[in-house]
Amino acid sequence: MKNRFLVLDFGSQLTQLIARRLRELNYYSEVHPCDYPIEKIRAFGPAGIILSGGPSSVYEAQAPTADVKELLQVSPVLGICYGMQLIAHQLGGVVETSAHREYGFNRVKWSAPFGDIPTEQKVWMSHGDIVRKVPPGFEVVGLSEGNHPAAMQGPRVWAVQFHPEVAHTEKGEQILASFARDLCQAEATWDPPHIAEHLMQVAGKLVGTEDHVLCALSGGVDSSVVATLLTKTLGAPRVHCVFVDTGLLRKNEYETVMQTYKDVGLNVKGVDASQKFLQGLAGISDPESKRKTIGRLFIDIFEENLSQLPVAKEKIKWLAQGTLYPDVIESFSAKGGPSQTIKSHHNVGGLPEKMKLKLVEPVRDLFKDEVRRIGAELGLPQAMLWRHPFPGPGLAIRIMGEVTVENLRILREADHVFISKLREKNLYHKIWQAFCVLLPVKTVGVMGDGRTYDQVLALRAVTSHDGMTADWFPFEFDFLREVSNEITNKVKGINRVVYDVTSKPPATIEWE
């Protein structure tokens, strides 16, 4: 473990993505809050330490901080965005608010590049403060389009003002790789077999040798991988999978997924709870209330089904969920850092405070593509692993407003048309996630020479590497025309179709 890295969280929504990138490069990494005690850092013995970005300004009284000089006594340091500003501020440089803020795409001109990157590099920035003067003994090695320091170098220190961890930064991973390999002299020894082995060891140790687990299946990749991993770790008789038909699934999804679960050898039971979910969601339009209601109903239903499983109720001590880090980081800072809340998730912020079961979430600190790699290592079929992400709350958060039987019918039929057309045109696997959103808006239309007053449907399709940032997919106009015509012709209740051309950020991928 001498090749591992420590990432200190100063509040960026992208902090865990830094660690994820290092893992992709086969370097084990962990995220801890910025105030992680120096004694624990020394005990961890990192080959390198990375300081994340964050929303604060270093000169604010309550700004998150860490002692950079102490960290440098442990290992080399890489500062990213806020991390670069903190290094400059503490080591004798000057940081100040800039009249020219830099958000989104930018270009950096390098005089001494970090690693195998071009001397002019396309990067992703998100900052309002700049390093006006670098510390003594440091030099500026990269300038932004605004002629601000975009990269600096000093004794055992590299620092960049942009975000090399995001997919939109050109060859950003090369900077991280060069930091690990060249400045820290670390060896790449972390790969999917090690990750799967590590997760199985952790899960086995947590659950023990006697307890049984109730596994909440949603039909998606994450919970399917968790169920398979736990089944291989504990054995099928101790892992009781429950797949709930919430009434919020896509067309024919319940039957198709149930058969797949049986084919891969999971110990699975189906539960029809569609009426309970519809009743529970009646009259609720607020997205946060929807998520929390769905989370509460999920737990209630799983606890109700404990007595119906072929094992003594008291032996089931754990509830397994397929929570991922994007769920966590958008709900709160999982590691105690100052990250800001974006929204709660049904399996994070939506859980009740008191539960009769303890939680086991083996992939909680992983991203979607990592989970897919682990699933492949565990032998899951490609058709299951490469399905587009589908949220736990299902179609409930793709209906803007109250969830009704009629709105579900409209959205389910429209979504089926959209996804079927993507598969027909061989576009499905070029897109990270695609879906429809039913808007609480009615507009006037004309059909068969008659006036209609029906709902508006939004199409959403994005490309992404990890779900933390995303771009909308550039469909050909003929494709959009064909999909729009087919939806308005086939799906009663829709007379207008629009396409969402917003990236993440500033939007999220889902609308709620």
Active-site residues: which are they?
A: 81, 163, 165
Nearest by Cα to 19 from 8, 10, 11: 8
Helical (H) or strand (E) element with 294: helix 287-304
CA 471 – CA 502 distance, rounded (Å): 7
- Pairwise CA distance, residues 355 & 282, whole Å: 24
**Alpha-helix runs per DSSP H in 110-215:** 172-178, 192-207
Q: Could you give the dihedral angle defined by the CA atoms of residues 342, 348, 351 and 356, in that order, rounded to the nearest 10 degrees?
A: -160
Go through the chain and tell me how many residues it has: 512
Token duo for residue 108 = 């950096």
422 contact partners, CB below 8 Å, separation of at least 6: 428, 431, 434, 461
Which residues make Cβ contacts (< 8 Å) with residue 309, sequence separation at least 6? 214, 240, 269, 316
Q: How many other C-beta atoms lie within 10 A of the C-beta of residue 427?
A: 16
User: Which stretch of DSSP H or E encloses residue 280?
Assistant: helix 274-281
CA distance to 8, 111, 210, per residue, from 54 (Å): 11, 27, 43
Please report the DSSP string for 69-114 in residue order: HHHHHHS-EEEETHHHHHHHHHTT-EEEEEEEEEEEEEEEEESS-S
State how far the Cα of 292 lies from the Cα of 277, in Å rounded to an integer.
12
216 in Cβ contact with 323 (< 8 Å): no
The one-letter code for the residue type at 284 is I
